[in-house]
Amino acid sequence: MEYRTISVEGSQFGDEGKGKITDYIASKANVVCRYQGGNNAGHSIEIDGVRHALRSLPSGIYEPGVMNVIANGVVVNPFALLDEIDENFAGNPDRLKLAISDRAHLILPYHILLDGCYEGAMGKNKIGTTHRGIGPCYSDKAKRIGIRMGDLLDPDYLKERLENALAINNRILSAFGEKPVDIDELYSRLLSAAERLRPFITDTSVLLDEAIDAGKKVVFEGAQGSLLDLDHGTYPFVTSSSPTSVSIPVNAGVAPYKVKKVLAIMKSYMTRVGEGPMPSEQDNAWGQSIRERGNEYGTVTKRPRRVGYLDLALLGYTSRITGVTDLAVTLFDVLMGVDDLKICVGYSLDGKLIDYVPASAKTYAHCKPVYKSFETIPFFDKTKIKTFDDLPREAKEYLGFIKDTLHADIALLSLGAERTDTVSFKPLF
């Protein structure tokens, strides 16, 4: 049977505009599923001129009729999720179509404290995390002392799990000079949260599988970006999950052959927040002007993003690893009228030319970008762009080079923040 599934993932360092593209695709989908990460993600979507910031809720949440799934691979801060639900659906709880996996792990207050302790202890070598407790929560999952959504539904078992987790985590907090977490207080807060979350908690793997087998259109929405992948990213400057198509089977509980298409969302230039190597970074007037034009400030943390020239060596690496079939190029309007346009096509490392991302972040930091120059893309009327051929010659050259280098079709081109600013060159389902 023909499965109508698509993985939508960031192919750089996150913040590629995934929320907006997923929102666009969600309007044509039946199910949207987040499968990794947590409220470190900041997805902003703009509807009728109003900007909505989503953190844990999937991007189909505003689409009537779309089921939104938070799968087992996501880490969920239950208190932050309830705040997000209240912010977005206060007057309209019936409009919320949400299912949360009973296997998803909970981010609890001690994870957030530990995130700060670890970053502080590393000093100048810190990762530059979002301080949302992501790393400590995934660590507890691997240590087998995590607490899962389903545990909220069994008060006795929840108490037992909490005792376990705190027996270890309170000792670590004390070693850092932090006040231990009070179990009774946290337990009672969790019991209250459980009452509100109960209707959404279920085995989402069954729900997803049934939807896929029934031929429903299912979108798997990645958070962050491929270069922040725990295994394949610029370790240790990565997040603690795998934000790519290759992790969907384990993180959502669906068979690998049921994930059909891989749509890589790529910004027309590069940005990165937090520490870590970024060979084509432009910490200068060029970078600053793109930062302002593209409003390159974090949705969640408001941190200014580092900006650089588009890096196709890096994108080639991520497309190989994640099996990209199609591309969605975002923030292309930001490049209109920009002088000194370049694309990084490889790196010079100790006098040798390479076109991949080395395993060591230290080695990667020594890579010197090799560039190809492009002509300035003139300002054009974006409302006139219906097909690739409607674009000015300079734009076609820039985009054509991307397409040829990555051997993937440009399916979507985003020319602005509104839903109507996304041009489709190819149907995705």
Shortest distance, position 135 Cβ to ligand IMP, whole Å: 5
Residue facing ligand IMP at closest CB distance: 274
Question: Using the rule CB under 6 A, is 237 a contact of ligand IMP?
Answer: yes
Nearer to ligand IMP, 127 or 385 (CB): 127
222 forms part of the interface with ligand IMP (CB under 6 A)? no
Decide: is 36 part of the binding site for ligand IMP (CB under 6 A): no
State which of residues 4, 6, 11, 15 lies at the interface with ligand IMP (CB under 6 A). Answer: 15
Task: Out of 66, 107, 212, 273, name the contact with ligand IMP by CB under 6 A.
Answer: 273
Catalytic residue among 23, 43, 140, 326: 43
Shortest spacing between CB 122 and ligand IMP, in angstroms: 12
Segment interacting with ligand IMP, rule: CB under 6 A, options 36-44, 104-112, 259-267, 356-364: 36-44
* Closer CB to ligand IMP, 132 or 342, in the complex: 132
Nearer to ligand IMP, 30 or 59 (CB): 59
Q: Contacts with ligand IMP in 96-135 (CB under 6 A)?
A: 127-130, 132, 134-135
Site size for ligand IMP, by CB under 6 A?
20
The nearest distance, CB 40 to ligand IMP, in angstroms, is 4
Minimum distance between the CB of residue 158 and ligand IMP, rounded to whole angstroms? 25
| Catalytic (active site) residue 366 | no
Query: Over the chain, what HEC string results?
Result: CCCCEEEEEECCCCCCCHHHHHHHHHCCCCEEEECCECCCCCEEEEECCEEEEECCCCCCCCCCCCEEEECCCEEECHHHHHHHHHHHHCCCHHHCCEEEECCCEECCHHHHHHHHHHHHHHHHHCCCCCCCCHHHHHHHHHHCCCCEHHHHHCHHHHHHHHHHHHHHHHHHHHHCCCCCCCHHHHHHHHHHHHHHHHHHEECHHHHHHHHHHCCCCEEEECCCCHHHCCCCCCCCCCCCCCCCHHHHHHHHHCCHHHCCEEEEEEECCEEECCCCCCCCECCCHHHHHHHHHCCCECCCCCCECEEECEEHHHHHHHHHHHCCCEEEEECHHHHECCCCEEEEEEEEECCEEECCCCCCHHHHHHCEEEEEEECCECCCCHHHCCCHHHCCHHHHHHHHHHHHHHCCEEEEEECCCCHHHEEECCCCC
Residue 249, interface with ligand IMP (CB under 6 A)?
no
By annotation, the residues acting in catalysis are 15, 43
The binding site for ligand IMP (CB under 6 A) comprises 14-15, 40-42, 127-130, 132, 134-135, 223-224, 228, 237, 239-240, 273-274
